[in-house]
Amino acid sequence: MPHDKGQIFGSFKKICIPEVLLPMEASELRPKLLELKSDWENNKLTGSEVSYQIVLLYLEKRVKRHPFLRMGQKLPNRDSSKDFLEVVRFYGMPDTVRHALWKWSRSEWNIQLIDYNPTSLEMLESQSKGIRYATISWDDALNGTLVEGKRDAFEHLLHDLAHAYMFFRDDYDFIGQTKFFQIMLDEYDGYKSYLEHDQRFKQKFEYCISDMNSHPAHLSAYWNAIRREAGIPLLELETKF
């Protein structure tokens, strides 16, 4: 959990700010955030374009010096997200975010921006179709609050983009992941009774189908392990992966 008892953890901690400072930041960014929200809702900006603008907005707010690393080249016009993202590197975060934004801007990866937190089943359904959601919580961004008590709205978006990278990257077998989630969706109803009576299994199951992007072999190993732990009969452990 990135924000926990006043401490900040995780891959993006260098560019996170204390929870107590979020309302002040939100107040300062409100005009631009409202403009971006309106442009997106009125289809003046695509999901990739508004996500790109949000990343630039927060980075420049939180990183006073050199939020963008040039990698030995002159920075291109930032109005062209495709050109800018191809050259730039973002301070304080894994390159997974920039790469996902770049692929998204080129329509090479099927990332879809939404403004709510999907359920684990909705995430499973989308990933079974080869789609990865990225969420911008406008309310939390505008109010300076944590999304579900865990991450600020900016980091929440970065987290989703990092997961998109893990979903679509070639060496993590995008096709294999999609097939894994298709099978999980097909078999979902068969596990409802376990989900209703075993909260530990439910927590791990929902993590597997919604917040775990890895090579299919790793996904399958985790899936088999949590079923064994839950005492699901061996007949139901037979895998198709």
Assign 8 a pLDDT band (cuts: 50, 70, 90): confident
pLDDT tens-digit series, residues 224-239: 999 999 998 755 545 5
Q: pTM score, two decimals? A: 0.92
Are 226 and 205 in contact, with CB atoms under 8 Å apart? yes
C-alpha atoms less than 13 angstroms from C-alpha of 23 in its C-beta half-sphere:
1
Burial class (CB in 10 A: 0-12, 13-18, 19+), 189: exposed
Helix or strand run (H / E) with residue 7: strand 7-8
Both structure tokens of 189: 């109803």
pLDDT tens-digit series, residues 187-204: 999 999 999 999 999 999
The conformation of residue 118, written as its DSSP 8-state character, comes to -
> Once rounded to an integer, what is the mean pLDDT over residues 11-26?
94
Higher pLDDT, 3 or 27: 27
Both structure tokens of 99: 């790469």
